[in-house]
Structures are given as C-alpha cells and as structure tokens.
Amino acid sequence: MNPILKKLGLTGEHQGAGTGEWMECSGEILESVSPVDGKVIGKIRCAKKGDYGQVVACAEHAFKTWRMMPAPKRGEIVRQIGDALRKHKQDLGALVSLEVGKIRAEGQGEVQEMIDIADFAVGQSRMLCGLTMHSERPEHRMYEQWHPLGPVGVITAFNFPVAVWAWNAMIAMIAGDTVVWKPSSKAPLSAIATMNIVWDVLKKNALPEGILNVVIGDRKEVGEAFIRDRRIPLISATGSVRMGRHIAEVVGARLGKTILELGGNNAVIVTANADMNMAVRAIVFGAVGTAGQRCTTTRRIIVQETVKEKLLQGLVKAYQQIPIGNPLEDNILMGPLIDRQVVDTMQKALAEIKAQGGKILFGGEVLSGGVFDAGTYVKPCICEVGPYLPIIREETFAPVLYIISYKTLDDAIKYHNDVPQGLSSAIFTSDIREAETFLSHRGSDCGIANVNIGTSGAEIGGAFGGEKDTGGGREAGSDAWKAYMRRQTCTINWSKELPLAQGIRFNVS
C-alpha cells in the first residue's frame, strides 16, 4: 500500500484541517487503524476549536465569491472534479478498502458513486429552476427563485467514508454553497486523500481557498461547535439515530436546516410467487455486502410460510460459499467489521436473540488464525425469529439476518412496518397485485420501495433517504438541490398603480 499512499499524498503526519491548503493543527494525534490487519496506516493531528473557527471563517469568506459564479460555471468545476476522481479511482478505492474493510470492488464502487454524483450535479447546474406564477394584481409579475444558502456542513460515517460527502458536496457546490466536511474519525485518511484530489482542481482554476473544507476532530471539541454554529445554515449528517436526534435538537434550536440519514432496518418480503433464485442472490448481496455495515443492508426477511424452507436452504447454501478474508485480495466477498467493538456488539446481539427465543441457524462466529488475527472477522449469521422479538426492532450494524414467516400479505406488511426505522424495502413476487399492494398507501412505509430488487444499491438518480427514525432527509434525486438553497418569491409591479391587499385604499396627499 505504500506506493498508493504516496500517490495520494499520504506520507508522514497529517493535519486535521484545511481549506485548500493544510493548516497547522494543535489537537491530539488520531491513529487510523485498518480493520484488515489491525495495523496503524496513518496519523493525523486533530483540529481544535480554534482551528475549526478558522476553517468556517474561510468557508464563509469564499462563499461570497463562489455564490456569484454562474451555476453552469460551477458545474464545470464539478465536472473537472469528477474527472480528477476518475484518474484516482483505483488508488482511492484501494485506500477505502484498507481503511474501512470494504472488498476491493466495493471500494472502487464507492469512488464510482462520487464520479456519478459529479456527473449528475453537472446536469443539475443548468436546471435550478423556479416557477412563474400569475399575480392576482393587474400588471404585476410574480415568480420564485432560488439562492445559494451559505457554508454547508457535512458529517459522514465510516461505512461510506467518501461517497456520502460527494452526494452532498457536489450538489451543494452547483447550488453555490461552500462545504465544511467533518469525516468519521474511523476513516480520516480517505477524507484527506479526497481533499488532496479536489483541491488540485480548485487551484488549477484559480479559485479561492474555502470552497471545499475539511475538519477532523473530537466530537466535544469540534463536533459540538460545528452543529451549534449559526454560520452553518444546513447540517447534513449520516450516522446513528442517537446522533441524529442530538443534531436535530441542536440545529433546530437555532432554526437551522438538517438533512439526516440515520438508521435502517430494511426488510425483504418474499412471497410464494417469488423467483427464489433471484431472491436468494439479492438477499445475500444485501445482507453480506460491506459486512452488513450499510444503512441499506438487508436485515429482515419476511417469507411466506409455504416457501420458507426452500428459501432457507438456498440462503444457507449461499452463505456456506461466501469467501471471507483480506478485502484487497481477489475473489473475497466479505471483509472485516470496522473494529473489535462492533464485533463485541454483534456477539451480544446474538446472545440476546437466543435469550428472546430466537434460533441461530448459521454462522455468527468470530474467526481467528492467520489473516483473522485482527479480531474483526466474523461469519455472517442467519437467525429464525418471531415477528415481535424486541431485538429485531433494533439495528445491529453487522451481518445478522432475521428470518420471519408470515401467512397473508397483510401480515407481512404489518411485520415489515412494525419497526422504528423506515429507509429501504423490497418485495420479491411475480404477482402484480402483491407488488402494487406493497407500493400502495397501505404498503411499505419506507423512503425506498423496490420490487424484485434488493434493499441496497440505490441509484443517484433517485432521492435517497427514509422516514421515521431514518431521519426524513433526502440526498440526490431530481430536486435534491432545493435543500441546499433558499427560496425567494419575487413580485414586480410594472404598472402606475399600487393595488393593496384585501382591496384596502391608502391615499397620501
């Protein structure tokens, strides 16, 4: 990995704050530890509150210039950023795999998502449209327009260490906003490498520092100052429900805006009319991808009781064949969990499943020996449970799959919706009535509902996000740009009269 780290500008000790150039920070040393082998791959000098203040001041200053650049011109800068990411796709993808444990294909895929959202944003830069409305007053014109919002804050989680930043940053940029990024402390090197790539584009275009910014630091030292800062009108945050509730409360208290992408507890309904081979492939990909550490991971299977055994046989057979190991090696389909703490959380959840009456049908063991000595590798797990076990209402961020049987489709939808989260959902069926019922007002209560497609793998062309404890925010999609702008209604009187509301006459002699 050393040549790759060098090409990405990751040599020596790194600074945890920058605005286009790296600042000298004064905080504690943060070590980036790879879950692949438990070794330290980089050290970062964290930002302190004062360092954070300088970053936001620079973002605020740059906003005054950036907002006045025509949106299509901003789109051209984003296009160049996408091209720069293309050139570094292999190296940056490998770094993502090393730092968070994704298999190589997923690491590459995450960088491709950055490229895709850049392409998408370029098109959006020419589509920031307002409406023209008919005024009730004669010889008046009324219309709405959208203005840049200001410096936007983006808080990302370890499981998508760079893509989620891009989903927000590329759209925010074409909207005319500057961006301040607080990445996960479990994936700081991926953020630093990304900044090195995109800053080079900004410099080549002679743009001021402060358009794209990063600050790495302690939650209490930097995070709290970040979400309380009135100079940041919008905070977009991805993470746990607990974190999201706190951010919503703090930002809401200052009447700021939030985009929250929080917990997922995603289910697939498998009916008696399903293509079983297709369902098995989708479930395995959704449950085991990223070692069960996606917000869209498939966590619950709600299967019609007459086909439960057939589905189980297919799933167990597939699980037995999943190659687990170093995610950078070829043919590996599942890498490690992010750290040993998550492994412990998974083991406690499995014990709780048994205590509540569930059965572990396959897997769940912590692996050891050789490459597994890092203590972060596990076998993905399949459990059979009842529909109302308390544990299945929680999101265990690990490869634990629950199997629940049902009699009628109404029962299945009831079980499906009976969790606090509402992100992604799917049904496998060849019956159009079952499919349309699932998509109807009395069907899935999630922000994403799929038919004969699994719960993970959302496209950037569709709005991404969910309901209930998932937070209600949306990223990407046709009108996502509106969240990063402020709406303004304008009325122009081109007559020689001044008609007043409610027909009031107000004459001044």
The predicted-structure confidence for 384-398, as pLDDT tens digits, reads as follows: 999 999 999 999 999
Average pLDDT, the chain: 96
More reliable by pLDDT, 499 or 486? 486
Q: Give the residue from 70, 486, 436, 91 showing the smallest Cα distance to 271.
A: 436
Rounded to whole angstroms, the Cα distance separating 162 from 93 reads 10
Residue-wise pLDDT tens digits, 313-358: 999 999 999 999 999 999 999 999 999 999 999 999 999 999 999 9
pLDDT for residue 506: 74
> To which H or E segment does residue 92 belong?
helix 89-100
Task: Please report which confidence band the pLDDT of residue 1 belongs to, taking 50, 70 and 90 as the band edges.
Answer: confident
pTM: 0.96
Residue-wise pLDDT tens digits, 40-66: 999 999 999 999 999 999 999 999 999
Give the Cα-Cα-Cα angle 462, 468, 471 (nearest 5 degrees). Answer: 60
Provide mean pLDDT across the span 358-386. 97
Say how many residues make up the chain. Answer: 509
Give the Cα-Cα-Cα angle 433, 434, 437 (nearest 5 degrees). Answer: 85
pLDDT for residue 295: 96
Task: Please report which confidence band the pLDDT of residue 509 belongs to, taking 50, 70 and 90 as the band edges.
Answer: low
Give the position of tokens 């634990």: 400
Q: Give the residue from 89, 138, 137, 136 showing the smallest Cα distance to 114.
A: 89
pLDDT for residue 503: 73
**Token couple for 311:** 């589905």
pLDDT for residue 59: 98
Relative to beta strand 29-33, strand 40-45 is antiparallel
pLDDT for residue 3: 86
CA 255 to chain centre: 23
Sheet with 29-33: list strands edge to edge: 13-15, 40-45, 29-33
pLDDT for residue 482: 97
For residue 246, give the DSSP letter: H
Q: Report the C-alpha dihedral over residues 269, 273, 276, 278, rounded to 10 degrees.
A: -80
Provide mean pLDDT across the span 447-472. 94
Residue 507 has pLDDT above 80, yes or no: no
Residue 502 has pLDDT above 80, yes or no: no
Handedness of CA 162, 113, 436, 316 (dihedral sign): negative
Written as one letter, the residue type at 162 is: V
Residue 449 has pLDDT above 70, yes or no: yes
Rounded to whole angstroms, the Cα distance separating 228 from 232 reads 8
CA 114 to chain centre: 12
64 sits in the region (left: phi over 0; alpha: psi -120 to 50; else beta) called alpha
User: What amino acid positions are annotated as catalytic residues?
Assistant: 261, 295
